[in-house]
Structure 1
Amino acid sequence: MKKLSSLFCVMVLSLIGVFSFGTDKASADTTTGWGYFATEDGRWDGKVTTTSADNNIRVHFRYLWKTDGYGANPAYPGNLWVRLCNASTGACTATKEMYGDQTYVTFTGMKIGTFYLDVQDGFSWLYIYGERKIDAY
């Protein structure tokens, strides 16, 4: 009886372990939620992972401001250029320029992997900051 009880406990603990540490689609970081970014700070502006099912990436922007460090004025998505760089190989996509009031940029047919977001602006004397959201779909 003691042996049977021990075997049962081991089986229950094994099942708990399997379901506790299992992976699902959300664990692949295919969406980031809204997060802060700033151009010209020398840091990546986000990170996202693609899968075979979610190999397109869309980057959304909102609440954009430009500043020289002494006050801020509204910025526009048309002031931003966006590219993605593969975390493993370092290879980057072509830079995509945003136009007018467009609030997102799309990259299609990406390889499976993890990509860093690089957001640039066209101003040498200013930087732009705001929020971005990265979705793989």
Structure 2
Amino acid sequence: MTADAEEASVTKVTDRHGLEVLPLNQCLSLLRSRPLGRLAYQAAGTPVVVPVNHLVDGSTVVLRTVAGGKLDVGLAGKPVAFQLDDHDPARGTGWSVLVQGRAEIVDDPELLARYDGQLDSWAISDSTEVSWLRIVPDEVSGRRLRRAS
């Protein structure tokens, strides 16, 4: 059986709106496929969404930020969400992956050594002291999007 035939024979799970629900392994693969996503959190009672580049380590999303900045100090232990998507307007298709969990500062020397050099941040110079933040997921969900017929 070819890979295409095998994929076609798999029953796809859909949500109540008819969107295809993506399995965890596909969500994680899609998270690895694009460098830039959106971090959502609450600051002073107001929702905030900022673009961030990231890497994926297992099922955690890892971000690099300025040490002592609002992201690492203000978000440690707090609920956050990370969202990534892509679409093809010509074909009317796309996907979206959402990671919901808690932010935690990475201070394990082994993890820090592993992450070092893996992520280039746009707004952080090489001389800036950085912190690593990771989102430990409570839930990872994804949907395949298709234009309604």
Query: Is the TM-score greater than 0.5?
Result: no
TM-score, L = length of structure 1: 0.28
If asked which structure has higher relative contact order (CA below 8 Å, sep 6+), I would say: 1
